Amino acid sequence: MAILSGKHKGTTDVRVERDITVERPAEELFAFWRKLENLPLFMGSVDAVEWIDETRTLWKATTSDGKPLSWEAEILEEKANESIAWTSVKGSEVETSGSVHFTPAPGGRGTEVRLIVRFIPPPSERVIEWFWNLFGEEPAEQMRNDLRRFKQLMELGEIVRAR
């Protein structure tokens, strides 16, 4: 779900949060996610994630009208097999932060994955329109589809294609 959460530098930011249960152990999901270069495999709007040093990465994307877009992010905190938190560095083209959490599900039925992402549009831009112009979809829908693909990749080793 997407929540427009208060004011930030005169514009409203957006916080999106979603849960999905994946039938793999938390350690395996954490290890896959921690290799941030894996994320473009299921994140529809990210083309590549490249490591700059041990905590910083360069994220590359293409806007819906075909322009290259990039931002630098940094891992703020991590708990082995439990969570990872990150934020874009100051002055990035895209200002965003987020975290992912892995909790074993009851009954041994896999792992509950919670993803929380926050986007802050440039001053004077309306957040949803700004996001749409960048990625061609709504933030909550993007997250829903990304997480569904993540689950497919983890449970099946592939992303299902209709054609």
Partner 1 sequence: MKAVVWHGKHDVRVEEVPEPRLLSPRDAVIRVSSTALSGSDMHLFDGIQHGMHRGDVLGHEFMGTVEEVGDQVTNLKVGDRVVIPYLIACGRCWFCREGLTALCDNSNPNGGEAERHYGASGAGLFGFSHIFGGFPGGQAEFVRVPFADFGAVKVPGEISDEKILPLTGILPAAWMAAENGAIRPGDVVAVFGCGPVGLLAIQCARLMGAEKVIALDYVPERLRLAAQWGRAEPVNTEDMEGIVDELLRHTGGRGPDVCIDAVGMEAHGHTTTALFDRAKQALHIEGDSPAVLRLAIRSCRKGGTISIAGTYSGLVDQIPIGAAYAKGLTLRMGQTHVHRYMRPLLERIAEGKLDPAPIFTHRLPLSEAPQGYRMMHRKEEGCIKVLLMP
CB-wise, 6 or 106, nearer to partner 1? 106
What does the buried/exposed string (b/e) look like for 2-31 if buried means 16 or more CB atoms within 10 Å of the residue's CB? beeeeeeeeeebbbbbbebebebbbeebbe
CB-wise, 29 or 84, nearer to partner 1? 29
Tokens 């891992």 locate to 75
d(CA 145, CA 20): 11
CB-wise, 21 or 63, nearer to partner 1? 21
d(CA 154, CA 163): 21
Residue 141 CB, shortest distance to partner 1, in Å, is 6
Residue 88 CB, shortest distance to partner 1, in Å, is 25
For binding to partner 1 (CB under 8 A), which residues are involved?
A: 21, 23, 109-110, 141, 144-145, 148, 151-152, 155-156, 158-163
Residue 17 CB, shortest distance to partner 1, in Å, is 15
